[in-house]
Amino acid sequence: MKVVVAVVRPNKLDSIKKSLEEEGVRGITISEARGHGRQKGQIRMAQEQEGSIDLLPKTRIGMAVPDDQVEKVIQAILDSARTGEVGDGKIFILPMQTAYRIRTGETGTDAL
Ligand SMILES: Nc1ncnc2c1ncn2[C@@H]1O[C@H](COP(=O)(O)OP(=O)(O)OP(=O)(O)O)[C@@H](O)[C@H]1O
Ligand SMILES: [Mg+2]
């Protein structure tokens, strides 16, 4: 199991969500976030070296995914989140120890 965390453009959420549903992802958690990447919150690359740092609104998508689904989930996000402009976001993959489904007591991938 892995935790897939994607920080993306808020206006891409619907198309990302749709593509993840098509991959059979069982659950996702969405949070509103603010952040900056290499351009320090500036919208254009030319401003990269200037001093101020702004935090831009982003959407954070978190998912626990079985190992055999991880590559497809990554590809689905890459395809549906990309505009080609700066600020398209990042995908982070984290190792995951286990999960518990509280209602049933199932653990591991059964809990997802
Ligand atoms: N190293 C990082 N650690 C944590 N969050 C990050 C990191 N890099 C980017 N983010 C998050 O992702 C959002 C989008 O980052 P962004 O796509 O601008 O990255 P970038 O490296 O500047 O790439 P690009 O040059 O394509 O803009 C940021 O606003 C921030 O919330
Ligand atoms: Mg950036």
Position 50 pLDDT exceeds 70: no
Rounded-to-integer distance, Cα 82 and Cα 108, Å = 32
Residues at CB less than 6 angstroms from ligand 1: 7, 33, 35-39, 56, 58, 86-90
Position 77 pLDDT exceeds 80: yes
Of residues 54 and 78, the one with the higher pLDDT is: 78
Q: Could you tell me the residue range of the domain that residue 15 belongs to?
A: 2-41+54-111
Position 43 pLDDT exceeds 90: no
Position 91 pLDDT exceeds 90: yes
DSSP-derived 3-state class of residue 79: helix
Tokens encoding 65: 């995914």
Q: Looking at the domain assignment, is residue 82 inside a domain?
A: yes
Q: What does pTM read for this prediction?
A: 0.92
Q: Looking at the domain assignment, is residue 47 inside a domain?
A: no
Q: Looking at the domain assignment, is residue 22 inside a domain?
A: yes
- The number of distinct structural domains making up the chain is 1
Instruction: Return the ligand 1 atom nearest residue 86 CA.
Output: 27
Q: List Cβ<8 Å contacts ≥24 apart for 20-23.
A: 20/61, 20/63, 20/73, 20/76, 20/77, 22/76, 23/69, 23/72, 23/73, 23/76
Q: What is the mean pLDDT of residues 81-87?
A: 97
Rounded-to-integer distance, Cα 103 and Cα 60, Å = 26
**pLDDT, position 41:** 78
